[in-house]
Structure 1
């Protein structure tokens, strides 16, 4: 398949190598309430939570656009926090392939993909890698994307404020390794 790397397609979440962080991102669409969300989870080489975020917005984008907007948020976070040695994982193969491609798409999705590529180009010195993983390896980000079904606009979690269900989802990833 085009634009696939050997590292793509993991079925289980794995801790990154030492001195690296991993960010998983996912999006969800809620047709009945005309909104969508995206979430990302940042963990260190021991699997410990650094930070997690979820955001909810009004509208009905297609799934690829919702995921691309989430990835753009992750890249903005990486840029703002001067993060290095980062692995970004998404379970949306089409968006991962589009970001890796050099083809231009003249649509709103194409514009968001170009913005992601532009941020990646500016961050090329920061040792970032971008991977496609299966949904089973992206469970924590998916859990946060659907958690509140857009009843809460934006949320940030850090180690001290993780509720027990979220904590169990994080632990389940570590136990699958």
Structure 2
């Protein structure tokens, strides 16, 4: 409520009351999960696969896609990114996008997940695990709660995409930030480039280092 008050006074932005209540519960759950190193999977809409602290290669025959977003407070832009890797940890494709605006972090995260799901659908991928470190958005997509806001619209689009891919074994999983380093890196370092794509042959040394670091931590 205090955050909503400040946004209304200083940024002339206000949330719908239903969105505010749901956000409060989700943030409380996220805070509890951070405090508890054992990670309580009974906080709502969670599974036994949630809560990984380190990145790991997907099972044979599966692809893993990590997503993340960043809102740059000192500018009027935000970015989101996703990174797809195969069972050997080899890069399939990575994309990042920078847009103008200053949305709530949850909205930026949801847009990143939507971008990843759209890519999966457009390229007809099957057996894909999508990982995000935004617990609130993962819970929102899994729930049936209706959000009457722009965030709600993006959440609904993510649900529709997942439903359209139901026969292709697509999973959306929550992981901790430490298991999402590469997507976090791309989102944070993409404030000036509108849209970019990387594949195995054109990654720069720093990105290559982050990829290798994930493999070394398995």
State the TM bucket, normalised to the shorter chain.
over 0.9
Q: 1:165 aligns with which of 172, 183, 206?
A: 206
Shift in Å at residue 87 of structure 1?
0.1
Q: What is the TM-score with the length of structure 2 in the denominator?
A: 0.80
Q: 1:74 aligns with which of 102, 116, 123?
A: 116
Larger RCO (CA within 8 A; separation ≥ 6): 1
Q: d(CA) in 1 for partners of 2:196 and 2:153?
A: 26
Please name the residue that 1:16 is paired with: 58
Please name the residue that 1:60 is paired with: 102
Q: Secondary structure at the match of 2:215?
A: helix
What's the Cα RMSD here? Answer: 0.6
Q: Secondary structure at the match of 2:94?
A: strand
Q: d(CA) in 2 for partners of 1:131 and 1:123?
A: 15
Q: What is the TM-score with the length of structure 1 in the denominator?
A: 0.98
Q: d(CA) in 1 for partners of 2:94 and 2:206?
A: 14
Shift in Å at residue 78 of structure 1?
0.5
Shift in Å at residue 128 of structure 1?
0.5
Unaligned runs of 5+ in 1: none
Q: Secondary structure at the match of 2:108?
A: helix
Q: d(CA) in 1 for partners of 2:162 and 2:197?
A: 24
Unaligned runs of 5+ in 2: 1-42
Q: d(CA) in 1 for partners of 2:47 and 2:105?
A: 22
Q: How many residues align?
A: 176
Runs of 4+ in 1 over 3 A off after TM superposition: none
Confirm whether residue 41 of structure 1 aligns to residue 83 of structure 2. yes
Measured against aligned partners, the alpha-carbon deviations of 1:110-164 in whole angstroms (never above 9, x if no partner) come to 111001001111110111111000000000000000113x211111000000111
Confirm whether residue 175 of structure 1 aligns to residue 216 of structure 2. yes
Q: Secondary structure at the match of 2:74?
A: helix
Shift in Å at residue 31 of structure 1?
1.6
Shift in Å at residue 33 of structure 1?
1.3
Confirm whether residue 7 of structure 1 aligns to residue 53 of structure 2. no
| Greater share of residues in strand | 1
